[in-house]
Amino acid sequence: MGRVLKYIEERKSRYGALHMTLIDPDKVGDLSVISKLCQVIDEAGSDAILLGGSTGVVEFQLDEVIKEIRSYTSIPVILFPGSVAGLSRLADAVFFLSVLNSVDPYFITGAQAQAAIAIKRHYSNLEIIPTAYILMGDGGAAAYVSCARPIPYSRPELALAYALAAEFMGMKNVYLEAGSGASKPIPPEVISRVRSYTTVLLTVGGGIKSYEAAYVAAKAGADIVVTGTVIEHQPDKLKEIVRGVRDGGRERLRAR
Ligand code: 1GP
């Protein structure tokens, strides 16, 4: 097991669930905001930074952002690529994504094959975390860009079907994504259905903006709760969101 996965597992057994903060380098604009973002992230107790976005991300920009992040925080930086351009040698790991419910094979295996040799040759320091990316609800820009057919919230059995398929295919992480800025996060019934039949790492994100939503997601079974928009628009709320993840995680530890 790689260093980052070990870190995730260790925090999972200590806290029940982790929080990760998504930073979209294309939305950062001026690098000078990174110091403030890192301060907010560290003070809130977020466990790692996810770095990526659906559009407009290029490697040199990722490099600059990661260098800046490294001078302010020591938590892991994990790439969350929206395309083959979303890689950087300076990160710790990459969520090697396959959009399982895309209708275009490019987003399931094509982009991955396109990136694979380059990763082997030039990014061998990156820890690869094989991740099934499953778009749900309105799916946001991620669903649009990756030609996904988002799963309706009313059909949790379909989310389970894809998550189980991912586990059987050997994926290490299943990411249930509602889309950045989604009006409704993934419902707890969907999370708990997937959780009760799978043992794979379960990541949930999209539209989580409050203590309650974070608490509910972690309690229902998310191992990793991701928020992005909050730090852009309401950084003061990050602390309560991480607290929600910790409280929900603690409930799960207790119930074991
Ligand atoms: C998007 O799941 C992440 O990829 C985060 O979504 O921006 O809505 O928090 P938000």
Q: 32-48, pLDDT tens digit by residue?
A: 999 999 999 999 999 99
Nearest atom within ligand 1 for CA of residue 230:
9
Task: Establish how many alpha carbons lie within 13 A of residue 99's alpha carbon, considering only the half-sphere containing its beta carbon.
Answer: 29
Distances (CA, A) of 24 to 61, 80, 152, 210, 214: 11, 9, 26, 20, 20
Alpha-carbon distance of 212 to 62, in angstroms, equals 32
Nearest atom within ligand 1 for CA of residue 142:
4
Residue range 69-79: mean pLDDT, rounded? 97
Residue with the nearest Cα to atom 4 of ligand 1?
Answer: 180
Query: Rounded to an integer, what is the distance from CA 236 to the centroid of its chain?
Result: 21
* Beta strands 127-135 and 201-205, pairing class: unpaired
Nearest atom within ligand 1 for CA of residue 80:
4
DSSP summary character for residue 187 = P
Q: What class does CATH assign to 3-250?
A: alpha beta
Query: Higher model confidence: residue 60 or residue 107?
Result: 107
Nearest atom within ligand 1 for CA of residue 175:
2
Q: How confident is the model at residue 201 (pLDDT cuts 50, 70, 90)?
A: very high
Residue range 85-93: mean pLDDT, rounded? 95
106 Cα–ligand 1 center, Å: 23
178 Cα–ligand 1 center, Å: 7
Residue range 126-146: mean pLDDT, rounded? 96
Beta bridge partners of 21: 49, 227
53 Cα–ligand 1 center, Å: 10
Closest CA to 208 of 190, 231, 174, 236: 231
Q: What is the mean pLDDT of the chain?
A: 96
112 Cα–ligand 1 center, Å: 22
Residue with tokens 């309401």: 234
The two tokens of residue 67 are: 């260098």
* Beta strands 224-227 and 18-23, pairing class: parallel
Pocket test for ligand 1, best of 50, 54, 177 (most atoms within 8 A of CB): 177
Query: Higher model confidence: residue 183 or residue 27?
Result: 183
pLDDT at 29: 78
Nearest atom within ligand 1 for CA of residue 181:
8
Pocket test for ligand 1, best of 136, 180, 184 (most atoms within 8 A of CB): 180
Alpha-carbon distance of 177 to 95, in angstroms, equals 13
Residues 6+ apart with CB under 8 A from 135: 99, 101, 142, 143, 146, 148, 149, 150, 151, 177, 179
pLDDT at 54: 76
Beta-strand runs (E) in the chain: 18-23, 48-51, 77-79, 93-99, 127-135, 173-177, 201-205, 224-227
Q: Rounded to two decimals, what is the model's pTM? A: 0.97
Pocket test for ligand 1, best of 22, 78, 184 (most atoms within 8 A of CB): 22
The ligand 1 site (C-beta within 6 Å) comprises: 22, 142, 177, 180-182, 205-208, 226-230
121 Cα–ligand 1 center, Å: 31
Residues 6+ apart with CB under 8 A from 240: 210, 211, 214
Beta bridge partners of 205: 177, 226
The two tokens of residue 229 are: 């928009």
Q: How confident is the model at residue 116 (pLDDT cuts 50, 70, 90)?
A: very high
Alpha-carbon distance of 178 to 151, in angstroms, equals 9
* 3 state DSSP class of 237: helix
Contact 240, 5 (CB under 8 A): no
φ, ψ (nearest 5 deg) of residue 202: -115, 120
Contact 44, 242 (CB under 8 A): yes
Residue with the nearest Cα to atom 1 of ligand 1?
Answer: 180
